[in-house]
Amino acid sequence: MDKNGKELDQLKFIASMFRMAMQEFNNVMGPESIRTIFRLIGERQGESVEKRMREKFNIKEWTPELFAEKFVKDVLDPALGENQSVIEIEGNDLIVKVNVCPFKRAGIDISNKYYCTYTEGLIDYAAKRAFGNVEFKALDLISNENSCCEFKLSIR
């Protein structure tokens, strides 16, 4: 077996263990607790990626255009693949569109929305750290059988 085959087998094993662990967490804690935990993890990551981008690109003050460009290229593209997300700017609103779910692509059941809450926390808190007063709203989710996830960030 070549190196890529071994790595793929390792990733399949890890994904299998992750699925089993999530089932046990669900049995012990229940879905609402798990969604809360994933949301909190997403929020911490959102704060962290905004700080990292601010330092990496030497940003003194975010504009919607700059945030959209850097967030897609530095956060979403590496996780999702190029051209799988876009942020559209409509006045003081940023519309984040994500065309693929990395969890679904890995064969993980997303109907429970655990991973959606991670993504929501990530986007929400990165924007709040960048702009301060931001209202966040999930408009569409792939886990609701929509073609993409869509989130609205309204800068106040």
Q: Per the domain annotation, does 122 fall within a domain? A: yes
φ and ψ at residue 148, rounded to 5 degrees: -150, 165
Structural domains counted in the chain: 1
- Note the pLDDT tens digit of each residue in 32-62: 999 999 999 999 999 999 999 999 999 999 9
> Once rounded to an integer, what is the mean pLDDT over residues 13-23?
84
Q: Per the domain annotation, does 70 fall within a domain? A: yes
Report the CATH number at residue 53: 3.30.1380.20
Most confident of 4-18, 77-91, 96-110: 77-91
- Note the pLDDT tens digit of each residue in 117-145: 999 999 999 999 999 999 999 999 999 99
Q: Per the domain annotation, does 112 fall within a domain? A: yes
Q: Per the domain annotation, does 95 fall within a domain? A: yes
Q: Per the domain annotation, does 2 fall within a domain? A: no
pTM, rounded to two decimals: 0.87
Q: Per the domain annotation, does 12 fall within a domain? A: no
- pLDDT reading at 16 higher than 90: no
Q: Residue 156 in contact with residue 136, Cβ under 8 Å?
A: no
Q: Per the domain annotation, does 13 fall within a domain? A: no
Q: Residue 128 in contact with residue 48, Cβ under 8 Å?
A: no
The strands making up 93-98's β-sheet, listed across from edge to edge, are: 85-90, 93-98, 149-155, 134-140
Confidence of residue 25 (pLDDT cuts 50, 70, 90): confident
- pLDDT of 1 reads 65
| Token couple for 42 | 């997403």
Q: Per the domain annotation, does 16 fall within a domain? A: no
C-alpha–C-alpha distance, residues 156 and 139, integer Å = 18
% residues pLDDT > 90 (the chain): 72
Range of the domain at 120: 30-155
